[in-house]
Structure formats: C-alpha cells, structure tokens
Amino acid sequence: MAVVYEKPKSLSDAPLHYCPGCTHGIIHKLVAEVLDELKIEGKTVGVAPVGCAVMAYDYFTCDMVQAPHGRAPAVATGLKRALPDQVIFTYQGDGDLAAIGTAETVHAATRGENITIIFVNNAIYGMTGGQMAPTTLPGQVTQTTPYGRDIHTAGFPVRVCEMLSTLDGVAYAERVSVDCVPNIRKAKAAIKKAFTAQIEKKGFSIVEVVSSCPTNWGLTPTEALQWLRDNMLPYYPLGVYKDKTEEGVR
Amino acid sequence: MAERVLMKGNEAMAEAAIQAGCRHFFGYPITPQTEVSAYLSKRFPKIGGTYLQAESEVAAINMVLGAASAGVRAMTSSSSPGISLKSEGISYLAGSDLPCVILNVMRGGPGLGGIQPSQADYWQATRAPGHGDFQVLVFAPSTVQEMVDTIFRAFDKADEYRMPAMILADGMLGQMMEPVSFPEGKADTQKEKPWAANGHGFKRKQNVINSLYLNPAVLEQKVRERFERYAQIQKTEQMAEEFMMEDADFAVVAYGASARIAKSAVVAARAEGIKVGLVRPITLWPFPTDALQKAAAQVKGFLCVEMSMGQMIDDVKLAISCSRPVAFFGRTGGIIPTPGEVLGEIKKLAGGAK
Ligand SMILES: Cc1ncc(C[n+]2csc(CCOP(=O)(O)OP(=O)(O)O)c2C)c(N)n1
Ligand code: SF4
C-alpha cells in the first residue's frame, strides 16, 4: 500500500505537551518536514527558547541546545561561528524574541548571522499563563491587561518582520500563518526557503508564524483561529518583507 | 627553554588563550580588560579564529554558551559590571555542564564604580556567579607568567570537569608588563567532547544541551552529581603558594595583585626580624583550605590583605574554623594598598614581638 502521509522523521515519538488546538504542533511538524526534505537533520542544531516550546528538544530529533529566555539568537550565533557548515535554527515565541531578547534578535539580524529563526507570534505569553506580550494587540485582554492593552500606558505592538526588514543583514523575512490549509502550505514553503537561504549562506532568515493560543485567549481552537484571522492578520499582514535570497546580503 | 618576551598581562592572557587552542572569543568593550579584546581582534582573523564584538555582555556569554555547546574552546573577558550581566549565562553554562573560560579584570564597585584595580568581586566569583546551586573554578594569578599558565590550566580543567572557569585578575595585573614564556606544544590537550551538540550525522543519538529539569527529584539528582564533582575538585585542585612559611609565627593571606604587595611587606618584616610568611591562594574556588589549615597549625595569627572591604577573609576563617585570630587590612574603590601599610599591619599583628 502506498504511504500517503507519514510523521516526519525529524520529529520524535514523544507526545507533544502543547494544549489541544495549539498551533505550536503544526509549526513543529512543518520545521521537521523541511529538515527531512532538505536532508539536513544530521547536520542541524536547533535552539529551544524559554516559552511553551522550551522542550522542543524532546520533539526535534536533531541536536538541540536550550537557551536562556530571549538569548537563542546569541546562542545560535555561537553555534554557527563554531560550526559554520552546519545548519542552526532557533524556535522562539514573541516574548522571547521581541521583548527580553530584542537586542539579541536585532543584532543577530544586523550582523547577517547565517541562521534561521522560526518566530511564533501568538500575541501572548503562553507559558506563564497569558500575560501581555510585545505583540499583544491594542485593546486585547490578557492577564496583565485586564482592561485591554491600553496604548497610552502599554504602548504599541512590535511588528517584527517590518522592523527587521530595514536591516541590511537580513536575507529573508516573511510572515505566514497556520490558520488554514492554504496558509499552512505557504508557511512550509517559507520555512523551506529560509533554511535553503541559510544553507546557501545568504544571510539571516526569519519566518514569523502568526499563531494561536486558545488556552490563554480563552477560546476554543476553532474560535481562536477565527480570532486570529479577524484580529491578528489585519495588524500583522502576511507576506514577504525582505527577499535577498538570490543575491545574498554581502 | 621557550623564548621569553615582555608582555602586558591582558595581552599575555589573550596570547595564551590562542596557544591553548581557543579560537572563539565573544566580548563587549569595558575597561580595564580592553587589551584582551584588542589583541584577539587583531590575531584571530589571521589564524581563522572568531572574534565577535557582541551587542552586550548578556549576548557575549550566550554566544560562549553556543560555541561551548558545539564543543569548541570559547572565552569571554570583561570587568566587574559586565560580569554582573553575564551571571545569567554563567548559571546556564554551569547548569548545562558546559566548559568555558571567563576573564574578570576586576575594577572598583559597586555600580559603575571606578576603573582602577580592585578585588571586590571575590564574593561574586566564589559565592554567587549566578542563580542556583553551583560553583565555577576560580583562579587568581599574581604575575604575568602565572596569568599565562592559568589560562592553559583553566581551559584544561574546564574541559575536564565540564564547568566554567573564571580567572580573577585586576587592572593592575592586566596592565603590568613582565617577561613571559609560553609552554611549548600544549595547545592540543583538548578533550574529546562526545556530548557536544554539533550535528549527529545519524552516527550517534541526539545530543541535547539543557539545564531544565521540571521533575524536582531529577533536578536534585543532577545538582547532587555536580556537587560530587565539586567535592572531588576540592580534594585535588587546590592551589596555593607558601612564601617564607617554614618558620613563620604569623601568616599574611593575600591573592592576585595584593599578594605582590603583601610579599614585599613580608620581606620587609623579615628584615626587621618578624617571623612572618605569606599564604597565597592561587585557586579561590576551590579555596586552598589545606594550605590554610597547615598554616593554622603553626602560626599565632593571620592577616588577610585584600583590595576590598574584606571578602576572602570569610574563607580564611572558615578554612581554619576560626582557630586563630584573623586580622584584616584592605583598601577599596581602586586604591592599592602600599607595602608600608601592610608592614604596619604585620607589626600590629605581631604585637611588636620579634
Ligand atoms: C529571565 C526570565 N524571565 C522570565 C521568565 C518567565 N517566562 C517563561 S516563558 C515566558 C514568556 C514566554 O512567552 P513567549 O515567548 O511569547 O512564548 P509562548 O509561551 O507564548 O510560546 C516568561 C516571561 C524566565 N523563564 N526567565
Ligand atoms: S499555552 Fe497557548 S501557546 Fe502554550 S501550549 Fe497552550 S495553547 Fe499553545
């Protein structure tokens, strides 16, 4: 019988600890499929964040390093400088990447560090129980913005792809979503392109994945995906923000 | 014998790192460690090494963490305020059982403090280089030659015990010029690192570098295993110099730059007929308890001399279980004690007795 679907080899058999309906699982699968298709699992080192994906090392079967909160791009830089021919990626949430780790993110990007970042933007701090994230939308209710994010006191959300695309070191920045099958397909293509750019030493690559956190948004999985479409996509438009994957950044 | 060259302490440490096989340095500028970075930024591009000026000390230590995870010898250097920023990373390095070398060319504190030599980070290095139950190896050289030798030893011991090693120097040693020679053929003492996360190539199982253990029983077990290693280190890795201790009735205890001053004071006191010697810790962790206990069996009292308000004195008292009086003399904020001042304190301790 022909095999029509298989779990990617770069994903272990460990049961995922993510909440039901959480999109982290889909994103893990896409990354693992890309590692399989590019045949790079054996030469890849992944960097896990502090956030819901902290135990990504249990799921990805490549070598893994668990980084301090926000420091994954610096850890990845150290790995890449020591292993210039291996493939290095980080997998980070929005608090990790765009709050505590903003400096590490921006500087890895501007150095044109030849690494790939998978950035999971779910507009909230999932792991710690749903506090405001740097990407929390204006008016969005979280545990620490109980009256909705007030732009007068809490300021505005960070649009990471737009910000990073101004930097010369960035070869590829695309924002995708995993809210529906067509978008999941596009997300996978983007992730593959980002890893390919790294393999070809074109510079820094980032794929921002707009995702959901049904648990802390207080919605069912399907409601959460609809909320994502209605609220997040208008603020975080999908698309390619930077593409220098042909010519490279240097 | 290897050729002797005149070098500044900071540059000598940088050259020693290269010769010890280190090809990865990550740092952020700060006085008074400047020459370490400047030297490596000049040399590394020519020999295929990585010199990377990070965006902060936080980033630099995490780059060290990444490079160390990959299995290479990695180093960072900084001075007091920068070491504070590195403490998060140092804790993760220790919790992930990663080797690396960290230089702290100490300056006066707290806060921005000053840029003159100090030894006020002793507690930080030996008690709390970061959060959690752990230690790092701490070395305190007191000559430029010893700085060189210590770098080799620090890399070797860090690899051997899979833990960070810190070298506590200060602005005075860093700037001082002395003749040094480099041990020949020492660069390839590096251990195999089968645990490194460098791509499994389908030839071995997955390697994970991690400090997270959500199960308290497992975490406790991990910490206990580390402390068994620490106990072994405390047995075998203590280092101290004993100077004029054979017949001493009193002992000065000092490390690093203040030990140089103390040595002059001891020589001057001897000239005046006072039977005093010096115990100079070379490892601050593990603290050379054995040498202190040996001295305690012989002397009537100790004088601890530091460029701080008195930090190592705690370890001196602990080492000898307060069995002898321990006096203290220190200058802080970047002021270096003079041999004359220390001589005065030795005389006080000896009670004018010959
Ligand atoms: C230095 C430090 N500060 C705070 C925390 C607590 N903490 C753990 S995860 C997290 C936020 C994670 O949110 P995000 O990066 O958005 O990832 P998500 O959990 O939503 O996937 C915080 C604040 C920590 N572990 N370390
Ligand atoms: S808390 Fe949110 S982000 Fe975390 S696993 Fe649950 S649904 Fe996913």
| ipTM, 2 dp | 0.98
| pLDDT tens-digit readout, B267-307 | 999 999 999 999 999 999 999 999 999 999 999 999 999 99
* Res B125: pLDDT: 98
Asked whether A212 lines ligand 2 (CB < 6 A), one says no
| Alpha-carbon gap, residue B283 to A227, rounded angstroms | 60
Domain containing residue B308: CATH number: 3.40.50.920
Both B197 and B300 in a single domain? no
Both B150 and B34 in a single domain? yes
| Alpha-carbon gap, residue A215 to B165, rounded angstroms | 43
Task: Tell me the two tokens of residue B56.
Answer: 């902060």
Reported pTM: 0.97
Chain A residues in contact with chain B using a Cβ-Cβ cutoff of 8 Å: 41-45, 47-48, 54-55, 57, 61-68, 71, 74-83, 86-87, 103-104, 106-107
In our burial notation (b when 16+ CB lie closer than 10 A, e otherwise), range B191-219 reads: eebeebbbbbeeeeeebbbbbeeeeeeeb
Both B230 and B246 in a single domain? no
Both B155 and B282 in a single domain? no
Which residues on chain B are in Cβ contact (under 8 Å) with A106?
Answer: 55
pLDDT over 90 percentage in chain B: 95
| Alpha-carbon gap, residue B284 to B300, rounded angstroms | 23
Task: Indicate whether B2 pLDDT > 80.
Answer: no
| pLDDT tens-digit readout, A205-221 | 999 999 999 999 999 99
> Chain A contact for B190, CB < 8 A?
no
Both B92 and B162 in a single domain? yes
* Res B186: pLDDT: 66
* Res B184: pLDDT: 80
Final residue belonging to a domain, choices B197, B217, B236: B236
Give the mean pLDDT of B146-167: 97
* Res B187: pLDDT: 63
Both B252 and B318 in a single domain? yes
| Alpha-carbon gap, residue B109 to B88, rounded angstroms | 19
Both B140 and B288 in a single domain? no
Task: Indicate whether B46 pLDDT > 60.
Answer: yes
In chain B, which residue's Cα lies nearest the Cα of A104? Answer: B59
The half-sphere exposure of B114 on its side-chain side, counting CA atoms within 13 A, is 12
List the single best residue of A17, A58, A65, A117 to mutate versus B (max B Cβ within 10 A): A65
What separation in Å is there between the alpha carbon of B215 and the centre of ligand 1?
Answer: 19
How many distinct structural domains can be found in chain B?
2
Domain containing residue B162: CATH number: 3.40.50.970
Give the mean pLDDT of A134-152: 98
Both B51 and B189 in a single domain? yes
Both B230 and B277 in a single domain? no
Final residue belonging to a domain, choices B216, B236, B256: B236
> Chain A contact for B274, CB < 8 A?
no
Final residue belonging to a domain, choices B236, B260, B285: B236
B138 near B149, Cβ under 8 Å?
A: no
In our burial notation (b when 16+ CB lie closer than 10 A, e otherwise), range B137-148 reads: bbbbbbbbbbbb
Rg of chain B (C-alpha set): 20
- For residue A113, give every residue at least 6 positions away whose Cβ sits within 8 Å of its Cβ, in sequence order, or none: A73, A76, A77, A80, A169, A204
Domain housing B343: 241-351
Task: Indicate whether A85 pLDDT > 70.
Answer: yes
pLDDT over 70 percentage in chain B: 97
* Res B191: pLDDT: 80
| pLDDT tens-digit readout, A31-44 | 999 999 999 999 99
Task: Indicate whether B352 pLDDT > 60.
Answer: no
| pLDDT tens-digit readout, B304-335 | 999 999 999 999 999 999 999 999 999 999 99
**Domains (ranges, CATH) in chain A?**
24-243 (3.40.50.970)
> Chain A contact for B20, CB < 8 A?
no
Both B158 and B84 in a single domain? yes
| pLDDT tens-digit readout, A158-214 | 999 999 999 999 999 999 999 999 999 999 999 999 999 999 999 999 999 999 999
* Res B350: pLDDT: 95
Lowest pLDDT segment from A89-103, B181-195, B276-290, B320-334: B181-195
Distance to chain B for A67, nearest Cα, Å = 8
| pLDDT tens-digit readout, B227-236 | 999 999 999 9
* Res B153: pLDDT: 97
Which residues on chain B are in Cβ contact (under 8 Å) with A79?
Answer: 66-67, 69-70, 197
Both B183 and B250 in a single domain? no
Task: Indicate whether A228 pLDDT > 80.
Answer: yes
* Res B353: pLDDT: 47
| Residue in this structure with the two tokens 């405390």, named with its chain if needed | B234
